[in-house]
Amino acid sequence: MVKSRRSKMLARNGMFYPIIVFAAFLAFIYLTFGDLWVSSPEETLKLSFVERNGTQFYADGQVFYVNGWNSYWFMEHAVDVGRRPRVRTMLQAAAKMGLTVCRTWAFNDGAYNALQISPGKFDERVFRALDLVIAEARRHGIRLILCLVNNLKAYGGKTQYVKWAWQEGIGLSSSNDSFFYDPNIRRYFKNYVKTVLTRKNTVTGLEYRDDPTIFAWELINEPRCMTDPTGDTLQVWIEEMSSFVKSIDRNHLLTVGLEGFYGPKDPKRLKINPELWAADLGSDFIRNSNLSTIDFASVHVYPDHWFKNQTFQDKLKFARKWILSHIEDGERVLKKPIMFTEFGLAGENKEVEPYQRDRFFKLILEIMYKSAKHNKSGAGSVFWQFLVERMEEYNDEFGIVPWERPSTYNLITNHSCRLARVQGVLPSQQEHLKSFCFKTQ
Ligand SMILES: *[C@@H]1O[C@H](CO)[C@@H](O)[C@H](O)[C@H]1NC(C)=O
Ligand SMILES: *[C@@H]1O[C@H](CO)[C@@H](O)[C@H](O)[C@H]1NC(C)=O
Ligand SMILES: *[C@@H]1O[C@H](CO)[C@@H](O)[C@H](O)[C@H]1NC(C)=O
Ligand SMILES: *[C@@H]1O[C@H](CO)[C@@H](O)[C@H](O)[C@H]1NC(C)=O
Ligand SMILES: *[C@@H]1O[C@H](CO)[C@@H](O)[C@H](O)[C@H]1NC(C)=O
Ligand SMILES: *[C@@H]1O[C@H](CO)[C@@H](O)[C@H](O)[C@H]1NC(C)=O
């Protein structure tokens, strides 16, 4: 999503210099004793790699439909001792709700507390924070979708890569889309990808590429390349980068991170796009997702942002058509799972009442449940986005604390239960689901 408030928040962080000094001191303490934060590996749950067979995911030998959520802020919190407990609180609460997958950022390029400070230069302190996030997720039986770069400016994104190339005097162009076609920038990004995938986790001792806690890699959040509406530039980039990931890591699933817009060469599907502009962004859902190196397709659902002036009923109608159309693509054309990796309704919008948000969620979860029940390709839904209490500065218009509103909480847990009835209870869910699923039904 477009996260305007995030950049404000990042700017604001710059003013807390004394806090940073104090945090650095605490970080020192943590680097010395930090391993105590995660319990020993023997206590952690056994997880297997998630695989794909046709249009479905499998884990531990059983079919796996995903009830998941986004918390993009994990690494950034784990680096700061004072805020780190929020990561555990979120994972613990999510596991209790029967959620199984979290999508989060494995990048921070050149921003405050950057993981990649400049091309090829990494901050070990921040890498250790990402190590902790992965180890802590494993401990709660939660798998992670790790995204590798942002198309948007938050946490650096492609704009930062272009700036770096410019600063080093080797940039071809100042257009932020040169991220996709400048050979030097492509080299920067590949180097980044390789460093992350082969990172040896200081908590678990596992290289990331060998760690089944990672559900999948995502190449880029919401790629658009508007300077080439034919879509060729982005397509070539996805081909190159997805092959590169596969050359290093054959264990994990890989997705692109698309919003799901249909491209201009697809007149039949263009009618499903929100509006005309959506075909001119340089992305093409079918073409981009059809590559053999891409294991499943990703789609976002944001009627609030995609239409200027829609009634609530129109939004529901659009969401339904949009989701069903993509599931159909998974069945008939792509023959791959389709994951709805972001969906939300803006809460700050005065027209949106909380009960409407519940209705929107319910519509989506209902479709996903039916897909699971009929062994279809709609393989998962991932809420945008969950926070814990007192995180207003991390809220865009979409954040919710899921346990603050019982009706929303019930929707989510109910979905975990009915998916479990379809596919069985995952080992990581056993402790939690029995407490609320199989009581009264
Ligand atoms: C994939 O699914 C098909 C059909 O359900 C089944 O026959 C096949 O054995 C499965 N393949 C693997 C590798 O699990
Ligand atoms: C990329 O550059 C274009 C043109 O300067 C600008 O409109 C757009 O907002 C930029 N996008 C990002 C994500 O920086
Ligand atoms: C998708 O890829 C397959 C296999 O490479 C190919 O046969 C098929 O024509 C492609 N479909 C589309 C719509 O591009
Ligand atoms: C938005 O839609 C409402 C109801 O359909 C209408 O009354 C209003 O004039 C519209 N506003 C704009 C800016 O188009
Ligand atoms: C879905 O698959 C399961 C096992 O893989 C099978 O038992 C069930 O009958 C299938 N359901 C439908 C509706 O095809
Ligand atoms: C819970 O799921 C069942 C189907 O398994 C559905 O009939 C019911 O309406 C759901 N309840 C809520 C609160 O979503």
> What pLDDT is recorded for position 61?
87
According to DSSP, the residues that pair with 52 across neighbouring strands are 57
- 342 belongs to the catalytic site: yes
pLDDT class for 1, splitting at 50, 70, 90?
Answer: low
Q: How far apart are CA 248 and CA 387, in angstroms?
A: 33
Find out whether 415 and 369 touch, Cβ atoms under 8 Å. Answer: yes
Pocket test for ligand 3, best of 242, 290, 292, 294 (most atoms within 8 A of CB): 290
> What pLDDT is recorded for position 85?
97
Task: Say how many CA atoms lie within 13 Å of 224 toward its Cβ.
Answer: 16
What average pLDDT score do residues 360-367 get? 98
| Residue closest by Cα to atom 5 of ligand 6 | 418
β 56-59/51-53 pair status = antiparallel
pLDDT class for 276, splitting at 50, 70, 90?
Answer: very high
Q: How far apart are CA 272 and CA 278, in angstroms?
A: 10
pLDDT class for 269, splitting at 50, 70, 90?
Answer: very high
- Whole-angstrom CA distances from 255 to 28, 73, 213, 343 are 36, 20, 16, 17
pLDDT class for 193, splitting at 50, 70, 90?
Answer: very high
> What pLDDT is recorded for position 288?
98
Per-residue pLDDT for 291 more than 50? yes
What average pLDDT score do residues 401-413 get? 95
What average pLDDT score do residues 39-68 get? 85
CA angle 156, 88, 134 (to 5 degrees): 60
Ligand having the closest approach to the CA of 307: 4
pLDDT class for 215, splitting at 50, 70, 90?
Answer: very high
- Whole-angstrom CA distances from 179 to 114, 223, 259 are 19, 11, 19
| N-term to C-term CA, the chain | 37
Residue 377 identity = S
Domain spanning 44-439: which superfamily? Glycosidases (3.20.20.80)
Residue 289 Cα to ligand 1 middle (Å):
22
Ligand having the closest approach to the CA of 361: 6
pLDDT class for 410, splitting at 50, 70, 90?
Answer: very high
Q: pLDDT (tens digit, 9 = 90+) per residue, 87-140? A: 999 999 999 999 999 999 999 999 999 999 999 999 999 999 999 999 999 999
Spot the catalytic one: 218, 259, 342, 397: 342
Residue-range domain boundaries for the chain: 44-439
How many C-beta atoms lie closer than 10 Å to residue 419's C-beta? 27
Identify which of 88, 73, 85, 75 has the alpha carbon closest to the alpha carbon of residue 140.
88
Residue 62 Cα to ligand 3 middle (Å):
28
Rounded to two decimals, the pTM is 0.90
What average pLDDT score do residues 61-71 get? 96
> What pLDDT is recorded for position 22?
52
> What pLDDT is recorded for position 36?
42
Residue 366 Cα to ligand 6 middle (Å):
9
Q: pLDDT (tens digit, 9 = 90+) per residue, 85-95? A: 999 999 999 99
Residue 407 Cα to ligand 4 middle (Å):
30
- 222 belongs to the catalytic site: yes
Q: Is residue 290 lining ligand 3, measured as CB closer than 6 Å? A: yes
What average pLDDT score do residues 131-156 get? 97
What average pLDDT score do residues 231-255 get? 98
CA gyration radius, the chain: 21
Report CA dihedral (315, 316, 321, 326) to the nearest 10 degrees: 90
> What pLDDT is recorded for position 351?
61
Per-residue pLDDT for 34 more than 50? no
Ligand having the closest approach to the CA of 286: 3
Residue 230 identity = T
What average pLDDT score do residues 2-29 get? 44
Per-residue pLDDT for 143 more than 80? yes
Per-residue pLDDT for 20 more than 80? no
Least confident interval from 32-41, 170-179, 209-218, 349-358: 32-41
Q: Is pLDDT larger for residue 7 or for residue 147? A: 147
Q: How far apart are CA 371 and CA 332, in angstroms?
A: 14
| Residue closest by Cα to atom 9 of ligand 1 | 53
> What pLDDT is recorded for position 8?
35
pLDDT class for 238, splitting at 50, 70, 90?
Answer: very high
Per-residue pLDDT for 342 more than 90? yes
Report CA dihedral (310, 313, 319, 325) to the nearest 10 degrees: -110
Residue 143 identity = R
